[in-house]
């Protein structure tokens, strides 16, 4: 255990954890149990991936992207005692919403879950005349309430910050098109009421070549550290066989998170294992959640693999931050 705590946050003594294998020289190491969630865990599912997990009542809970056997994209709730073995509800979440037009569910995918103040906020890619960012909340992972969509279509990868910044809620997002968007930068937006979003700021662009040259998008909820907001994000490369989704990491300024302090030139994880390269969409790793334990700095990352299954990988805050600084662009 390090003397100084790098992560600003709570202890999570029961965080899922596997020590780094001796022969591993990478900054992230995969779970030996991958994939921790198989595609057919529940009767209706074609695939379960790109999902969000949080500590809940001494155990764990989450919102899962389950594409059904009609290949419709749905959100399901789940609970787990250890963060690894999951009990996912077979019925999709039915959001309670005051406004019929907003509450009419079309599709939902790539959820993120973020504890702020007194509740768990859920953001996801929500079908409303094309993809935009849906926002809702739950107290108990049983009843979910839906708020207004955050933005006009088209937008994806809406990721909240876990506290107000300069008195306002803050969210990263990635304006997009209605298809398999061949572009995309990360932006920052603020809101006083979780309804009206503005003061949009550019955060980061794609690079001229390499794993993050087609589009970038925020991944898990940013982790507050003494070195800045630790952001894990995905980046996409266009190969002769289509898109390749990898992930990198960045540090953002604590008070002005649209200012990137450092950002990795290399990826921290790319599709290499068979379960990341073979599936409904080959060559995809897509992190959507990260648990962390402040005293030890341990970080457990949840990512979707090949748009088919859910996997885990581990790192520590000190190791990842050192890697970002040593391998910055
Ligand atoms: C994106 C989203 C993700 C998916 C990725 C790769 O546009 O649809 O859910 O993992 O494409 O197919």
- Alpha-carbon distance of 315 to 6, in angstroms, equals 13
Name the band, by pLDDT with cuts 50, 70 and 90, for residue 134.
Answer: very high
Q: Does the pLDDT at position 2 exceed 80?
A: no
Mean pLDDT, residues 162-189: 98
243 C-alpha to ligand 1 centroid (Å): 10
**Domain range summary for the chain, segments of one domain joined by +:** 44-327
Neighbours of 127 (CB within 10 A): 19
Which residue(s) pair with 78 in the sheet?
62, 88
Q: Does the pLDDT at position 199 exceed 60?
A: yes
**Residue to mutate (ligand 1; options 123, 180, 184; most atoms within 8 A of CB):** 180
- pLDDT of 266 reads 98
Strand pairing category for 131-138 and 119-127:
antiparallel
222 C-alpha to ligand 1 centroid (Å): 20
- Rounded to 5 degrees, φ, ψ at 149 are -60, 145
Q: What is the largest CA-CA distance in the chain?
A: 55
Query: 276, 284, 129: which is closest to 214 by C-alpha?
Result: 284
Task: Tell me what percent of the residues of the chain surpass a pLDDT of 70.
Answer: 99
What are the tens digits of pLDDT across the range 37-68?
Answer: 999 999 999 999 999 999 999 999 999 999 99
**What is the b/e burial string over 286-308, where b = at least 16 CB atoms within 10 angstroms of the residue's CB?**
bbbbbbbbbebbbbbbbbbbbbb
Tell the burial category of 55 from Cβ atoms under 10 Å away from its Cβ (0-12, 13-18, 19+): middle
What are the tens digits of pLDDT across the range 262-292?
Answer: 999 999 999 999 999 999 999 999 999 999 9
CATH of 44-327, one of 2.115.10.20, 3.40.30.10, 1.10.230.10, 3.30.465.10: 2.115.10.20
Name the band, by pLDDT with cuts 50, 70 and 90, for residue 24.
Answer: very high
More confident residue, 2 or 302: 302
| pTM (predicted TM-score) | 0.97
294 C-alpha to ligand 1 centroid (Å): 31
Mean pLDDT, residues 134-149: 98
Task: Tell me what percent of the residues of the chain surpass a pLDDT of 90.
Answer: 99
Q: From atom 11 of ligand 1, which residue's Cα is the shortest distance away?
A: 180
Q: What does the chain come to in residues?
A: 329
Name the band, by pLDDT with cuts 50, 70 and 90, for residue 161.
Answer: very high
Q: From atom 9 of ligand 1, which residue's Cα is the shortest distance away?
A: 110
| Contact call for residues 114 and 120 (beta carbons, < 8 A) | yes
Name the band, by pLDDT with cuts 50, 70 and 90, for residue 3.
Answer: low
**Residue to mutate (ligand 1; options 39, 289, 307; most atoms within 8 A of CB):** 307
Mean pLDDT, residues 294-316: 98
- Alpha-carbon distance of 117 to 114, in angstroms, equals 10
40 alpha carbon, distance to own chain's centre: 22
209 C-alpha to ligand 1 centroid (Å): 20
DSSP letter at 263?
A: E
Query: Ligand 1: which residues within 6 Å by Cβ?
Result: 50, 109-110, 245, 281, 284, 286, 304, 307
- pLDDT of 4 reads 84
Atom of ligand 1 nearest to the CA of 307: 10
Q: Which residue's structure tokens are 């859910």?
A: 310
Mean pLDDT, residues 86-94: 98
Rounded to 5°, angle at Cα 198 from 170 and 165: 25
Mean pLDDT, residues 210-216: 98
Mean pLDDT, residues 178-193: 97
Name the band, by pLDDT with cuts 50, 70 and 90, for residue 158.
Answer: very high
| Averaged confidence pLDDT in the chain | 97
Rg (CA), the chain: 18
Question: Which alpha helices (H) appear in the chain, and where do they start and end?
Answer: 100-103, 274-277, 317-326
């Amino acid at each position: 255990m390090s003397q100084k705590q790098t992560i600003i946050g709570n202890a999570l003594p029961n965080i899922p954890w596997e020590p780094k294998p001796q022969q591993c020289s990478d900054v992230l190491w995969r779970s030996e149990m991958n994939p921790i969630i198989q595609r057919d865990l529940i009767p209706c599912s074609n695939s379960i991936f790109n999902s969000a997990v949080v500590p809940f009542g001494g155990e764990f809970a989450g919102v899962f992207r389950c594409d059904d056997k009609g290949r419709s994209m749905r959100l399901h709730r789940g609970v787990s005692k250890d963060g690894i073995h999951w009990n996912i509800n077979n019925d999709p979440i039915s959001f309670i919403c005051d406004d019929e037009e907003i509450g009419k569910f079309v599709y939902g995918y790539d959820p993120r879950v973020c504890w702020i103040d007194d509740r768990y906020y859920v953001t996801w890619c929500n079908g409303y005349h094309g993809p935009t960012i849906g926002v809702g909340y739950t107290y108990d992972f049983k009843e979910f309430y839906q708020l207004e969509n955050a933005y006009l279509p088209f937008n994806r990868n809406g990721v909240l910050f876990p506290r107000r910044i300069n008195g306002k809620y803050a969210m990263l997002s990635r304006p997009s098109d209605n298809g398999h968007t061949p572009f995309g930068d990360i932006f920052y937006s603020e809101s006083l009421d979780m309804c009206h979003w503005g003061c949009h700021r550019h955060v980061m662009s794609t690079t001229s070549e390499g794993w993050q040259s087609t589009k970038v998008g925020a991944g898990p909820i940013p982790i507050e550290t003494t070195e800045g907001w630790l952001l894990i994000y995905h980046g996409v490369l266009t190969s002769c066989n289509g898109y390749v989704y990898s992930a990198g990491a960045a540090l953002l300024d604590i008070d002005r998170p649209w200012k990137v302090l450092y950002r990795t030139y290399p990826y921290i994880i790319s599709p290499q294992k068979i379960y990341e390269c073979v599936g409904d969409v080959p060559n995809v790793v897509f992190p959507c959640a990260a648990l962390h334990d402040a005293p030890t700095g341990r970080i457990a990352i949840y990512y979707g693999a090949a748009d088919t299954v859910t996997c885990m990988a581990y790192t520590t805050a000190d190791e990842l931050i050192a890697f970002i600084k040593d391998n910055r662009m």
